[in-house]
Structure 1
């Protein structure tokens, strides 16, 4: 009588994405503006140099040429990167009311905004003390003037504890409503973080500023960064200056990972016989190579001292079953900030993979797992140039289900090849090098 048995097969092989990013720096002796240098580096290498830690900085120093020279690196200050405190939403192009020549960041760290009695916006240092306009989503009045003199951070804390947040201004009508309350210049919820991103869109995690840098003076905007080739320290400079520059080439060495497969089959052979087991591995190895796999190893793993286990059956088998189709996805929110590749590696080591979403039911459960956490989290969808694929099995994103936000994916700056899910369940394409939380999953049959 034939017996149906279950065995577990483990494949060890190579993964295309790795957490070990290798940066190779290239010193270029051409004189270019920061934007021209960025364009050259992207065309010829990968991008302008990114420096994530002291080890990167030490290697950057070794490629620098010429004493007393300055060379562009990829750090810059996006003076247009304004956000609203409520929801951390970007200031869009629909409405703003800056005074002429604002924002200008003409002194150090003009990262917060007040509105004048005429309704005009100014960028100023966040440490100044002034009244504030709070917003209440539940109160009888949307906008509340708080006349206590506070810094911007103190004002935000007060508004969040007593109301909803500092005021957001979405149109001229709201701006006029706020202006009508003001006896004096007062804080609103607009702010920005300075020197936060590199040219390759990765966040700054390390700095090596020269003493008293960065600083703006003389009414000029110094929003790009050079490295002194003698000291290795950084200075902010006018982006239209012409300097040498340092490019980088980024590569991802392959790293080993493990995949476990569970298969069912029928056999009359003695499956505890080592010779039978070896013969089965050889046959499986030949089939996988025929399918295009290479550089992998197969081995049996045991549970409860056995490789093979009888499966209890309620119904008679009608044929050979390769894999169960009744997959239960168990999602796990991971708070650690990681790039997409780092998140994929972590999920594969700890669970099964980054989250795969096959239908609306999956998407709804994934949204519930993310609820109450950060605004964005990596899922397993990525762009391999030929189209969008899921990390697990490199399966194509089919037409059966997707949940892109309106106007997404947009591949902004041609550098958004990985996907995040937002708290409201929609998908956005993002730069794979950004660090974000992630959602992993376990697949159970």
Structure 2
């Protein structure tokens, strides 16, 4: 019986490949503004670099080598991006996630404590002094979440509740740092005293004279930059002939999986390295193995 094995391996190259995600990073030494760098990366690769783990930080530091300045990555600041701490969409009616109760009590940066909300919109004042993140953790641990204010009625309920009591945190916050390709990652690697949050500083570069830590800069500055793209894959097809053992169904999924495990141990061959993935190629009838027809002169 004959079977086809597909062996795939990442193509060799000078760019760095992340094992955390299937991305290949490309360091471009030509200085460009952030928008020019983004355009280049989207035309030549996929987009400006996503940095979502310390593994990627180390990889980029190693790739930068002796480069001792900063280079653009894909993080930027979308100003005036607000959202509620309570993220469950079923909690909100049409238009309620966009409701913004701006007013004297809603725009303050200092507060006595958090305000918790139950699913039935019963508000509870917590008078302990906390920063916003501590208040969020407290409400999630002891109740449901920081208060979402979904409509004018709830806004008035809170206004009545806190009248004369000072100022209280609610669940509205601004999470404006976004990746160029729309990826969602909470990983941050800011340098000390960064970001500065000045009006013109809405783009981010990794400073390779400071362990690749991030700094926010004016987007018009011309700097080297880092792109990412898919890991290129080369493919080799190997034809394998086996003799069917007695009582064994060669197309049984468990048997095929066990054979792949053994095949991955010793897939060495010309041009192959240790970064090899092995897969079966199925025949048109959906089977992997097919019976070999004997030639007439073998009968």
Report the TM-score when normalising by structure 2.
0.60
Residue 53 (str. 1) matches residue 57 (str. 2): yes
Q: Which residue, 166, 185, 194 being the options, matches 1:214?
A: 194
1:16-165 counterparts in 2 under 5 A?
A: 20-30=22-32, 32=33, 34-51=34-51, 52-61=56-65, 64=67, 70-87=70-87, 94-98=98-102, 118-122=104-108, 124=109, 130-138=112-120, 142-165=122-145
1:185 is matched with: 167
1:44 & 1:255 partners in 2: Cα distance?
19
Native 8 Å contact 1:119 1:175 kept in 2 = no
- Tell me by how many angstroms 1:246 deviates: 0.8
> What secondary structure, in the 3-state scheme, does the structure 1 residue paired with 2:161 have?
coil
- Tell me by how many angstroms 1:54 deviates: 0.3
Q: Which residue, 180, 183, 195 being the options, matches 1:199?
A: 180
1:179 & 1:234 partners in 2: Cα distance?
42
Native 8 Å contact 1:20 1:253 kept in 2 = no
- Tell me by how many angstroms 1:187 deviates: 1.0
Native 8 Å contact 1:50 1:73 kept in 2 = yes
Native 8 Å contact 2:26 2:227 kept in 1 = yes
- Tell me by how many angstroms 1:214 deviates: 0.9
- Tell me by how many angstroms 1:44 deviates: 3.8
2:221 is matched with: 242
The gaps in structure 2 that reach 5 residues or longer are 11-18, 253-276, 284-299
Q: Which residue, 295, 310, 323 being the options, matches 2:237?
A: 295
Native 8 Å contact 1:54 1:206 kept in 2 = no
Native 8 Å contact 1:71 1:226 kept in 2 = yes
1:297-312 counterparts in 2 under 5 A?
A: 297-298=239-240, 300=242, 306-308=247-249
Structure 1 residues 78 and 297 mapped into 2: Cα distance closer, same or farther (>3 Å)? farther
2:80 & 2:3 partners in 1: Cα distance?
51
Structure of greater relative contact order (alpha carbons < 8 Å, 6+ residues apart): 2
Native 8 Å contact 1:225 1:234 kept in 2 = no
> What secondary structure, in the 3-state scheme, does the structure 1 residue paired with 2:73 have?
strand
Structure 1 residues 301 and 165 mapped into 2: Cα distance closer, same or farther (>3 Å)? farther
Q: CA RMSD in A?
A: 4.4
Structure 1 residues 44 and 151 mapped into 2: Cα distance closer, same or farther (>3 Å)? same
> What secondary structure, in the 3-state scheme, does the structure 2 residue paired with 1:149 have?
coil
1:167 is matched with: 147
Native 8 Å contact 2:101 2:149 kept in 1 = no
Report the TM-score when normalising by structure 1.
0.43
- Tell me by how many angstroms 1:59 deviates: 0.4
Native 8 Å contact 2:37 2:48 kept in 1 = yes
Structure 1 residues 187 and 79 mapped into 2: Cα distance closer, same or farther (>3 Å)? same
- Tell me by how many angstroms 1:130 deviates: 1.9
